[in-house]
Amino acid sequence: MRGEKLLWEASTKVADEFYTPMPKGYKKGLTKYLVITGSVMSGVGKGMITSSLCKLFQNRGMNVEPLKLEAYLNVDAGTLNPYRHGEVFVLQDGTETDMDLGAYERFLDKNLTRENFVTSGFVYKTIIEKERRGEYLGRDVQFIPHVTGEIKSLVRALASNKKPDIIVIEIGGTVGDYENMFAIEAMRELMYEEGKENVCFLNVTYIIDPPTLGEQKSKAAQLGIRGLLSLGIQPDLIICRSHKPLSNGIAEKISINSNVPIDRVIGLEDIKRIYELPLLLRRRGTDRKILESLGIEKKFNPKDKELAEWTLKNTPPKDAPITRIAIVGKYVNVKDAYISILKALEHCEGPLKTKISVSFIDAVALENGKIKSSALNEYAGVIVPGGFGKRGIEGKIMAAKYCLENQKPYLGLCLGFQVAAIAFARSTCGLKDANSTEFEPNCRHPVITLLPDQQSVESFGASMRLGSQEVELIKGTFAYKIHGKSCLIKRRFRHRYEFNPEYIEKFAEKGLVFSGKDPKKPLMQLLELPKHPFFMASQYHPEFTSRPLKPDPLFLHFVKKAMVEKC
């Protein structure tokens, strides 16, 4: 009754129309904001442009925090199918995000947290919970000012907690998406409240080049930018993505139709290697022009030599030999489903001076016989990545079994660890009916079973074993050797099923070594076969913590062995 009385009393008072909660200690002007939007179409590299600009600001000595505002109503990315939205990337604190957070981390060489990823679903969930607790003091809760206010509150909380010089905010999707309007409106309000000198807007548009015409066309880009203008946002810079270099005529059309000076219309054509992008943007003055609009260009000086060296070290020699790697997965029609694995392999190219050619092998096609296991012999090494569900699982087991029996370098990741254990049980231990209870609940030899703390879990969202966990490496093993002889490492996990400890002794008798385990529980996290050229698998995801110039040891030594064995 007391709570209802307070709400009634609050509702009888005259309230203003503002809702701008400020984090404790927040001071306007201490943090600058760069807001990046897209127009015309998604998938043209907005995430990589965001990551590259973060790299450029960091290169100037700035403390940078990226922030992704996603429009979908999922609370996080954990329940998204890779076919729908690409890879689910896991942060150190266990937050399941979209793949752009992986790009941010790799380019910044920095661990991000829950604060760096916001979905509309998370915002609405926060609002509903506050409304139920009566925190809006009886007001009718509306998109404006409450939804936009909560978005601004999350942005400012990141500024208050991390004390960055600049927050780079990427708004997912494009300007024309209905679900994006409130995120864009929140950023307009942010500029209104913080002052134009503290907020810079950059739009990434796309210049079409129809093959039948043989020339670039800007009308779609013009309409997309006008959509942004109609929402009350005047972009300060425009990056024009295109297949070929942007023509002067097209740049002039974009400039005159957007009120953006011609020197701030920046062409960005396709490039061969993504690690060239920061240097290319620097040479075109992109970061300088952004900081000029924010009035801090002279405060942070660029370190061009360091950036050039970083670019060079991430580039293999032109005449570098090619190492062919096969990835046996079930989402092979969507390259983005395995983007962190592809990047982890790229991280090995510079240090090992090789070019890696990746081919995707459909596990379902292996399973039903459309592709023979012997086709794997064409590759220098095989990776079996993570995944969920029974579809294609026998194809993955066949791939692990082929590598096991034919001395082919093999790297298993998460589910790839589990299928390696099943393949070893069937092929070497004589346990023909070995399986995982995920796929065969009543199998005779459940070498993979549900984690004990997962037995009572009913919901899917954020309920797995997630995030950074310690892995104890066993002295004398190859894993211990390649990780710098450190007894404890931290890696990121995302799984429900685990190796059944009842089979540890049986596997050991046949020569398999569990070289990494949980330091406090009987959970096996890393396996290796000493008598095999390279047969290793991890229950964790090493691809999530591999970085440019700092490739994960499992990937580095897998590729190194594949180069020796190469076909």
Asked if 541 is an active-site residue, the reply is yes
Backbone conformation region of residue 473, classed left if phi is above 0, alpha if psi is from -120 to 50, else beta: beta
Asked if 243 is an active-site residue, the reply is no
Using the structure block, give the residue that is written with the tokens 């109609």.
230
Catalytic residue (one of 414, 445, 483, 498): 414
Q: How far apart are CA 446 and CA 419, in angstroms?
A: 12
Asked if 414 is an active-site residue, the reply is yes
Catalytic residue (one of 70, 105, 194, 543): 543
Tell me if residue 425 falls in helix, strand or coil.
helix
Q: How far apart are CA 206 and CA 240, in angstroms?
A: 6
Residues 6+ positions from 87 with CB-CB distance below 8 Å: 98, 99, 102, 336, 337, 338, 339, 340
Q: What is the distance between the terminal CA atoms of the chain, rounded to a whole angstrom?
A: 77
Q: How far apart are CA 462 and CA 78, in angstroms?
A: 6
Triad 321, 324, 326: Cα angle to 5°: 165
Proportion of the chain in helix, strand, coil states, percent, rounded to 5 = 40, 20, 40
Cβ atoms of 170 and 68 closer than 8 Å: yes
CA distances in angstroms from 140 to 10, 19, 137, 154, 248, listed in the order given:
12, 12, 9, 21, 51
Tell me if residue 440 falls in helix, strand or coil.
coil
Catalytic residue (one of 347, 495, 541, 557): 541
Using the structure block, give the residue that is written with the tokens 């692990």.
400
Which residues are paired to 97 by β-bridges? 89
Q: Are strands 445-450 and 465-473 parallel, antiparallel or unpaired?
A: unpaired
Tokens of 455: 């037995």
Side chain identity at residue 236, one-letter code: D
The residues assigned a catalytic role are: 414, 541, 543
